[in-house]
Chains A and B, each alone.
Chain A
Amino acid sequence: MKRFAIAGGFVVAVAVLALAPLCLGAYGLGLLIGLAGYVTLATAWALFSGPTGYISLATVAFVGIGAYCVAALSEVLPYPLVLLIAAAIGLAVALIVGLSTLRLSGVYFVIFTFGLAELIRQLVTFYEINVTGTLGRYIFLGITPEQIYWQLLALGVITLLLTWWIGRSRIGLALKVIGDDEVVASHVGIDIARTKLALFAVSAVIMTLVGAIQAPRWTYVEPAIVFNPTVSFLVLIMALLGGAARLWGPLLGAVPLFMLFEWLSANFPNHYSILLGLLFILIVFALPKGVLSFVEDNWMKRRGPRAADRSEARS
Chain B
Amino acid sequence: MTTLLDISALTRRFGGLVAVNGVSFEVARGEVVGLLGPNGSGKTTVLNMISGSLKPSGGDIRLNGEKLSGLPAHRIARKGVARTFQLVRILPSLSVAENIVAALAFRSAPLWGAEVHAAADDLLVIVGLGGRGNERAENLTYIDQKRMELARALAAAPQLLLLDEWLAGLNPTELRVGIELIASLRDSGITIVLVEHVMEAVRALCGRCIVMTAGSKIADGPTADVLRDPEVIRAYLGASHA
By a beta-carbon cutoff of 8 Å, the part of chain A in contact with chain B is 170, 173-174, 176-177, 179-181, 183-192, 309-310, 312-314
Contacts and interface: CB of A to CB of B under 8 A. Distances in A.
A256 to B, nearest CB: 26
A170 B107 CA distance: 12
A188 B102 contact: yes
Interface in B157-179: none
Given A170-B105, A176-B93, A188-B107, 12 more contacts: A173-B102, A173-B105, A177-B102, A179-B93, A181-B90, A185-B74, A187-B52, A187-B74, A187-B83, A188-B77, A188-B106, A190-B106
A293 B48 CA distance: 37
B78 interface: yes
A310 B135 CA distance: 7
Max chain A Cβ within 10 angstroms of own Cβ: one of B72, B93, B101, B110:
B93
Contact of B136 (A176, A188, A189, A313): A313
B134 A310 contact: yes
Contacts of A174: 105-106
Interface residues of B, number: 35
Contacts, number: 83
B89 interface: yes
A189 B112 contact: no
15 contacts: A170-B112, A173-B98, A174-B106, A176-B94, A177-B91, A183-B89, A184-B152, A185-B74, A185-B102, A187-B77, A188-B74, A189-B106, A190-B102, A309-B136, A312-B136
B92 interface: yes
A306 to B, nearest CB: 11
B82 A187 contact: yes
A190 B75 CA distance: 8
Contacts of B52: 186-187
Interface string B79-120: 000110100011111110010011101111010100000000
Contacts of A170: 105-106, 110, 112
B48 to A, nearest CB: 10
B204 to A, nearest CB: 27
B107 A189 contact: yes
Contacts of A309: 135-136, 139
A181 B73 CA distance: 14
Interface in B189-206: none
A312 B138 CA distance: 11
Given A173-B102, A181-B91, A313 B77 contact: no
A189 B103 contact: yes
A195 to B, nearest CB: 10
Max chain B Cβ within 10 angstroms of own Cβ: one of A177, A179, A188, A312:
A188
A174 B107 CA distance: 12
B160 to A, nearest CB: 13
A184 to B, nearest CB: 5
Given A180-B92, A183-B89, A309-B136, A189 B74 contact: yes
Contacts of B135: 309, 313
Contacts of B94: 176-177, 180
B41 interface: no
Contacts of B98: 173, 176
B10 interface: no
